[in-house]
Amino acid sequence: GKPRVWISRPTFPEVVARLEPYFDVAAEPEEVVFPPAELAARLSACEAAIVGLKERIGAAEVAHAPRLRIVANLAVGYDNLDIPALTAAGILASNTADVLNESVADYTWALMLGAARRMGEAERWLRAGHWHSTEFRTWLGMDTRGRTLGILGMGRIGQAIARRALGFGMPVIYHNRSRLPAEVEQACAARYVDKDGLLAAADFLVLAVPLTAESRHAIGAAELARMKPTAVLVNIARGGVVDDAALAAALAEGRLAAAALDVFEGEPQVHPALLARENALLSPHIASATWDTRRAMTAMAVDNVLALFGHGPHAGRPPSPINPEVLAARPAP
């Protein structure tokens, strides 16, 4: 019979239509967080899996999945996947690189401006019926013009965020594990600084690093203490890059002006101390959530699956492999 593809979360109807000629498609009708045993059972019954960040796939899941050939992650980040374990088992992993850069960059600016201009707070105030008591000086926020944008993690999303700064009149500094080539720095008008320099100088600090062992709590109590008390911290990267408890304390004690967060440690839980902060603008991990981009992300996951099995526009050449060495080591199915 046909190989089976499991899709862990509801996507778009065209996804099933593209896969059905070649696969037996098992698409989950609802958003569910699968307990480990249920996740293992589903992975054990398929050749291909299209999954989201809530599916955490490690050595134990892989051990139960002898038929599995590809895990296509519906995200650019893949800290939910144990890549060495997948690679050791000859399973290809793919992500949705690049198709979401511009949407995520737009949303990052929405968060920056929303925090600077206190949009969440102001909307709650209006809805609570307090408009009549608004004074000339009630809603004073921060301008962007002339303020310094700092970016930690200058991959393609960081660069897309930086390019938008020209229109706001903001100088850009960045820190990254490796310095970018001069022509890329010029294209984003961004200046490289060390991490301490970034923390000390940024008026807006945007986090755009993947979550790894090295980046876990890259912003904790010590780093927050180096930032300006007037600064705004924006996290569109991953929960865990920031120590959320330390951040909530800094916000509560006036050691940081505001934060705008799309990602949290322990999602979908949000630290109660952050929920209690008026100066925290919070959203449920939606930076890539536009119609065009979420469609492009799902199309890319499908392209990777089809390609591995020799079908579709990229037959034989999955477009965004994370561990391409698997392709060289093992013949295509």
Q: Is 74 in the site for ligand GLV (CB under 6 A)?
A: yes
Cα 149 from Cα 142, distance rounded (Å): 13
User: Shortest Cβ distance from residue 170 to ligand GLV (Å)?
Assistant: 25
User: Shortest Cβ distance from residue 54 to ligand GLV (Å)?
Assistant: 6
Q: Is-catalytic flag, 145? A: no
Q: Is 288 in the site for ligand GLV (CB under 6 A)?
A: yes
Cα 96 from Cα 94, distance rounded (Å): 7
Residues paired with residue 6 on neighbouring β-strands, in sequence order: 26, 49
Cα 278 from Cα 225, distance rounded (Å): 20
Cα 205 from Cα 294, distance rounded (Å): 26
Pick one of 77, 114, 120, 150: the residue that binds ligand GLV (CB under 6 A). 77
Are 152 and 220 within 8 A, CB to CB?
Answer: no
Q: Is 323 in the site for ligand GLV (CB under 6 A)?
A: no
H or E segment at 186? helix 182-187
Per-residue binding string, ligand GLV, 45-64, x by CB under 6 A, is -------xx-----------
Q: Is 76 in the site for ligand GLV (CB under 6 A)?
A: yes
User: Shortest Cβ distance from residue 310 to ligand GLV (Å)?
Assistant: 27
Which one, 170 or 237, has the nearer CB to ligand GLV? 237
Which one, 54 or 228, has the nearer CB to ligand GLV? 54
Active-site hit among 163, 226, 255, 267: 267
Cα 314 from Cα 318, distance rounded (Å): 6
Of 223, 242, 225, whose CA–CA distance to 282 is shortest?
242
Q: Is 72 in the site for ligand GLV (CB under 6 A)?
A: no
Whole-angstrom CA distances from 147 to 49, 118, 143, 261 are 45, 17, 8, 20
Active site residues: 238, 267, 285
The residues binding ligand GLV (CB under 6 A) are 52-53, 74-77, 100, 285, 288
